[in-house]
A = this chain, B = another copy of it.
């Protein structure tokens, strides 16, 4: 058997593999990490891929069981069961990738025609003489006018400070970056024309460096939000900021310096330097937005929880401590409410739900959670205090999605199969693992619909007076530390997922719609992108709908930020979306308490007029 060229898309890895290597092993050799709970037995069905081009072995009986006819017809296969018979082009859906790799592949790529706010022009000038002694600034402005018909009213003071020596050192020929009627940067011609898009999350920060001319992402990178040292969630951060003006400033400076660090790292990858970045867009929830800008947050923490400002902001990057081009601006997309921020607007922009016909839901599940419902373009949103359970907090063996976290698991009889991030020995459960665990425990009747743990299962035991289900026992664990799900963990998850389901339901009720009306459900955010949708339905977090209606769009806020970075039109659209969204204060609605009581139940059920209608297990 020969060796074939296998391309994995959209992750963009390619290499040679023999016909005796399964697509799963082939992927593994090329560094593409596919989910696998069964270890290649063909039973867990998690390593699903789509063969776009090329011949492969015939589907096995295992695949016949795992995949639907529809999927088989669309050339979906289990990578562990499939062998190449020639060169192949393989599509790897995000859900088949392990968490760390999935962050590299954006779930959502939206084509936006570049229409950047900053334009770059090549200008050439005559040097001054005793007969032609026009001032340097006016000489540059005249050249822009005469050579490009661009009429600028001014030059940023920081650019002005470097103009005279620059003009002379580059022999009166340079690249001027113009924003509106202002010169914001100078560079040697030909220079780069790059911008920075940032999703400033409570936990993670994602940064993207884009070519403003083509709109293409040059490089991207993530990092932890260093503010995390001062509180894991928004409320804790706000509490810290309220301690003293110095503490608030500390958080503000931490955010800015993180962005500077990120910009530096992104630039380094392309041989650029941050001062070549001529424009930046930052999105974040309202608290992150306020802390970055140095805005007060006290009113965010007190009823009625109002933001200091809602509208989009264009602020000199210098005034926020962000070190890009001397005259560059940072654009912040608008907020919607105290707990529905610019990141949510970015997500709505990326999913384009405001432009869609029909009934579309968008969920942004992160440390905080926002839900948005668009009914033929009429948009309502709520914010749910889903709590940090899905981030692994308040869960006995919970942890963030990092190496060694169980991200997926399956329980068969008394056997627990799991997959950890990075394939490392298990050290805890991350959000998607927690959802899987609760769903599996419910399916094997260890949990009833009220979430009570049945003591009869061999893996259930009492620990300090509390029941817990042992996922990894002391013996099974490499270092002798067990991993379990406790009764209290189950309660935490019920509250968290109940809040999400309640948010969805209140929005549907407000718009006199039912769950079946939902034509599309976008799920964005770190955790939301990694959960198993079926598991989420099994625990009653999501309403029971055909799987294809769900779209896990990864970091859609980051996508929205990138769209706004390269397009003036998109910024206008974002403001339009923010203006159109009507925010509903969840706790103030009549249906809240009744719905919340129901939404805490486990199981697959519909909510109809506040009642549960159980769908078969």
Chain A residues with CB under 8 Å of chain B are 128-130, 132-138, 154-155, 157-158, 160-165, 168, 293-296, 298-299, 303-311, 313-315, 319-320, 335, 337-338, 583, 585, 588
Contact = CB atoms under 8 A, between A and B. Distances in A.
A75 to B, nearest CB: 50
Nearest to A303: B130
Nearest to A336: B135
Nearest to A130: B304
Contact of A160 (B129, B136, B295): B295
A298 B315 CA distance: 31
Contacts of A132: 304
Contacts of A294: 157, 161
A133 B306 contact: yes
A136 B168 contact: no
Contact of A309 (B138, B319, B320): B138
Given A135-B335, A299-B136, A583-B133, A160 B306 contact: no
Which 9 residue pairs are nearest across A and B when measured between Cβ atoms? A137-B309, A135-B310, A135-B307, A164-B296, A130-B304, A133-B304, A164-B308, A128-B306, A164-B299
Given A136-B307, A137-B310, A165-B298, 4 more contacts: A133-B583, A157-B293, A161-B295, A163-B308
Contacts of A308: 135-137, 160, 163-164
Given A161-B295, A165-B298, A293-B161, A585 B133 contact: yes
B130 A160 contact: no
A303 B294 CA distance: 46
A128 B298 contact: no
B293 A135 contact: no
Contacts of A310: 134-135, 137-138
Given A161-B295, A295-B161, A299-B168, A155 B585 contact: no
A160 B292 CA distance: 13
Within the oligomer, what is the number of copies of this chain?
2
A305 B138 contact: no
Contacts of A164: 295-296, 298-299, 308
A179 to B, nearest CB: 15
A463 B162 CA distance: 52
Contacts of A315: 157
Nearest to A335: B135
Contacts of A138: 309-311
Contacts of A163: 296, 308-309
A499 B66 CA distance: 99
A133 B311 contact: no
A302 to B, nearest CB: 10
Contacts of A293: 157, 160-161
Contact of A319 (B157, B305, B313): B157
B135 A306 contact: yes
A309 B319 CA distance: 23
Contacts of A128: 304, 306
Given A138-B310, A160-B308, A133 B338 contact: yes
Contacts of A157: 293-294, 313, 315, 319-320
Nearest to A320: B157
23 contacts: A128-B306, A133-B305, A133-B337, A133-B338, A133-B583, A135-B308, A135-B335, A136-B309, A137-B309, A138-B309, A154-B311, A155-B309, A157-B293, A158-B319, A160-B308, A160-B309, A161-B296, A163-B308, A163-B309, A164-B295, A164-B308, A165-B296, A165-B298
A159 to B, nearest CB: 11
Given A135-B335, A309-B137, A304 B160 contact: no
A288 B299 CA distance: 45
Contacts of A162: 296
Nearest to A315: B157
Contact of A135 (B135, B168, B309, B585): B309
A134 B296 contact: no
The listed residue with most B CB atoms (<10 A of its CB), out of A299, A303, A309, A320, is A309
A138 B306 CA distance: 11
Contacts of A136: 299, 306-309
A163 B163 CA distance: 35
Nearest to A319: B157
A337 B163 CA distance: 17
A308 B167 CA distance: 10
A574 B223 CA distance: 52
Nearest to A155: B309
A154 B162 CA distance: 28
Nearest to A310: B135
A57 to B, nearest CB: 60
A306 B131 CA distance: 11
Contacts of A585: 130, 133
Contacts of A583: 133
A338 B128 CA distance: 12
A306 B138 CA distance: 11
A145 to B, nearest CB: 13
Nearest to A136: B308
A501 B295 CA distance: 59
A245 to B, nearest CB: 10
Contacts of A296: 161-165
Contact of A306 (B134, B158, B335): B134
Nearest to A162: B296
